[in-house]
Amino acid sequence: FDFLLLSYKFFIDNFYYFFHSSPFFCVIIISEEVITLKMDIECIRDILLQAEEKSFMASRRYNPTPEDKEDDDKNFPYIAKYESEKLFYHVNLADELGLIKVNRMLGGTVVNDLSAQGHLFLADIREENVWNKTKEISKQVGASSLDTVKQIAVNVISSLVSGYFQK
């Protein structure tokens, strides 16, 4: 055998340990579990709202005490409702989508600020009436990709502006 590959499960940001000894190559990936998440555009919006207000750190394994949870609710009102795994996943997704600026650290990801694209997107979806109408239309058409949600939000705003001038 030229290669020996041990079976493994993959999840974003798991720890990878590689051992190389020619002619054998061995990969061992340590993972407690495999978690599958779908993009939650509401969570992305809440991350953007929170990042605009105050930087924060997202970690896969954050288990707050009741006192920490109370502080989180007060200091991070937009994101405190999310489980750490879901928040961590969506922070990394928002980073990949170019919506936020982050620093990766051992143990988590620090969200420092919004990117220019993040500011533009949040400007379109900040207002609750625009956001609710955008979600409603997105659900009706059965599309919830970031590009689609952006397009719907812009059209909702255009419709509101047109209605304002027709009065």
For 10-47, write each residue's pLDDT tens digit: 333 343 333 333 333 333 334 444 456 789 999 999 99
Sheet (strand 100-105) strand order: 56-58, 108-114, 100-105
* Mean pLDDT of the chain, nearest integer: 80
Question: Which 8-state DSSP code applies to residue 79?
Answer: T
* Model confidence pLDDT, tens digit, residues 96-107: 999 999 999 887
In the chain, alpha helices (H): 41-53, 66-75, 84-96, 116-125, 128-141, 146-165
Phi/psi for 35 (5° steps) reads -115, 130
Maximum distance among all Cα pairs of the chain, rounded to whole angstroms: 77
* Model confidence pLDDT, tens digit, residues 116-158: 999 999 999 999 999 999 999 999 999 989 999 999 999 999 9
Question: Of the given ranges (66-75, 100-109, 110-119), which has the lowest mean pLDDT?
Answer: 66-75
pLDDT value at residue 26: 35
pLDDT value at residue 167: 72
What pTM did the predictor assign? 0.75
Return the SS3 of 156: helix
Phi/psi for 97 (5° steps) reads -80, -5
Q: Is 135 left (phi over 0), alpha (psi -120 to 50) or beta?
A: alpha
Residue 133: other Cβ atoms inside 10 A: 18
